[in-house]
Amino acid sequence: MGVHEINFALNLSYNNGEYLQDSCNTSACWDAIYLQYVFNGILLPILAVVGILGNALTMVVLWRREMHSSTIILMRGLVVTDTGIIIVACVAMTPYTLAFYHPELRYFKNVIYPNIYMPCTFLVMSIQQCNVWITVATSVERYVSICHPFKASKWISKKKTKISLAIITIVSIIYNIPRCLAFKTKTPCVEGQSSGDCFVLMTTKFGGSNFYHFYQLYLYTFLIYVIPLCSLLVLNLLIINELMRMRRRRAGLNIQEDNEANLSLVLVLIVVVFLLCQTPGLLAQFDTLFDPTVMIKYLAVSNFLFVTNSSVNFLIYTAVGRKFRKNLMKFFSRVFRGSSFSEISRSSQSRRGTVGGYELNNTTYTAVSEETQIENLEKMRLKD
């Protein structure tokens, strides 16, 4: 099989040739493997720990009772698939890459990896497909909510969103079943070895067929890259244009519109990161354009960006999402009750002002009595 078999490719043959990493005999090839070692063996585990921690905090916030809109349901799907990608990619790629420089991991490389390659590939490809199309569904939902707000109540509901998630999941699983039939393992790797000491991945007759080549290259390229990336680009350009129009008339926005605009901005930024991290994977589909050693280096970077995309959304939520940040602070204040987080929360509440007989906060206007207004004015005069 070709080296382009998604971002998950590691020790794969190049244009049906011999396995590159197992036959390295030049300094250029070993330089490429060392770069793979740095990205997959050192940087990837660090990124995975940070990503899983951030995604765990994201789950805590998104599963709070007050977070219950159709967009939140889609965001839950995103964080679950993101976490799945991080775990599967790290478990499969890191030990395998480390084995080239750490002999104690040779058993993983020679025995475990060939046997988990097919199930792990099926998992990561199914999860990736879910992740991509949930991102598209989120952009469609935001486009309708922002650009066609009067039709949103008719076209969007939590029930329809859950049905969409179920359809995306089922189709992704069914679509990737052929990948389980494309390879098999053989032992021993070479004549004279004991059976079970080493396994090698082999392409089955189905895996070498023209149908599978069309399926795993052209269909994959269009369904995972071309169609989603083009759709996301168009939808988010329209959303950005509408957000800019809303910003110009910001004085006329009500609280609900302002919250919708903020949520849309968060998701637009998520899509921007998605496009930046996923686009390099598109070029990896065309392996014949590159020298084999260059492709190993390129895959090391592409794989890392692939996992990076699943690890950084928490930073976007925290930096830009007002409601997310508020609920995250509530969570920390409960966990560290009586600590500095509680003091920060109480301090922010005490600084809320009153305008026109209403107490202001992020989401609601609470009526304030006339006596309270007079008291507040008196306090302000005394401070002056």
SS (H, E, C) the chain: CCCCCCCCCCCCECCCCCECHHHCCCHHHHHHHHHHHHHHHHHHHHHHHHHHHHHHHHHHHHCCCCCCCHHHHHHHHHHHHHHHHHHHHHHHHHHHHHCCCCHHHHHHHHHHHHHHHHHHHHHHHHHHHHHHHHHHHHHHHHHHHHHCHHHHHHHCCHHHHHHHHHHHHHHHHHHCHHHHHCEEEECCCCCCCCCCCCCEEEECCCCCCHHHHHHHHHHHHHHHHHHHHHHHHHHHHHHHHHHHHHHHCHHHCCHHHHHHHHHHHHHHHHHHHHHHHHHHHHHCCCHHHCCHHHHHHHHHHHHHHHHHHCCCHHHHHHHHCHHHHHHHHHHHHHHCCCCHHHHHHHHHHHCCCEECCEEECCCCEEECCHHHHHHHHHHHHHHC
pLDDT tens for 249-298 read 665 556 666 777 788 888 889 999 998 998 888 777 776 677 778 888 88
- Ranking 48-52, 80-84, 282-286, 297-301 by mean pLDDT, the lowest is 282-286
Q: Is the pLDDT score of 170 beyond 60?
A: yes
Higher pLDDT, 294 or 170: 170
Average pLDDT over residues 87-109: 89
- Ranking 39-43, 61-65, 75-79, 132-136 by mean pLDDT, the lowest is 61-65
Q: Is the pLDDT score of 90 beyond 60?
A: yes
b/e code 214-235 from CB counts within 10 Å (16+ = b):
ebbbeebbebbbeebbeebeeb
- pLDDT number for residue 351: 47
What's the sign of the alpha-carbon dihedral 149, 150, 153, 155? negative
pLDDT tens for 313-364 read 999 999 988 888 888 898 888 888 755 545 555 555 444 444 444 343 444 4
Over pLDDT 70: what percentage of the chain?
Answer: 76
- pLDDT number for residue 376: 53
- pLDDT number for residue 374: 46
Q: Is the pLDDT score of 111 beyond 60?
A: yes
Over pLDDT 90: what percentage of the chain?
Answer: 36
- Ranking 14-23, 178-187, 351-360 by mean pLDDT, the lowest is 351-360
Q: Is the pLDDT score of 9 beyond 50?
A: no
Rounded to 10 degrees, the C-alpha dihedral 131/133/134/135 comes to: 90
pLDDT tens for 192-247 read 666 667 888 888 999 989 999 899 888 998 999 999 999 999 999 998 888 888 77
For the chain, the average pLDDT equals 80
Cα 280–286–292 angle (5° rounding)?
A: 95
Q: Is the pLDDT score of 107 beyond 60?
A: yes
Please tell me the distance from the alpha carbon of residue 281 to that of residue 285, in angstroms, as a whole number.
7
**Residue 187: CB partners within 8 Å, gap ≥ 6?**
193, 195, 196, 197, 198, 199, 200
Please tell me the distance from the alpha carbon of residue 237 to that of residue 244, in angstroms, as a whole number.
11
Rounded to 10 degrees, the C-alpha dihedral 339/345/351/357 comes to: -140
* Structure tokens belonging to residue 243: 């957000």
- pLDDT number for residue 17: 39
Q: Is the pLDDT score of 5 beyond 80?
A: no
Q: Is the pLDDT score of 372 beyond 60?
A: no
pTM comes to 0.78
- pLDDT number for residue 252: 53
Average pLDDT over residues 129-145: 93
State the angle between helix axes of 44-62 and 322-335 in degrees (0 to 180), rounded to the nearest 10: 90
- pLDDT number for residue 152: 82
Average pLDDT over residues 364-374: 47
Q: Is the pLDDT score of 380 beyond 60?
A: no
- pLDDT number for residue 256: 67
- pLDDT number for residue 338: 54
Where residue 368 falls among pLDDT bands split at 50, 70, 90? very low
**Residue 248: CB partners within 8 Å, gap ≥ 6?**
none
Q: Is the pLDDT score of 22 beyond 60?
A: no
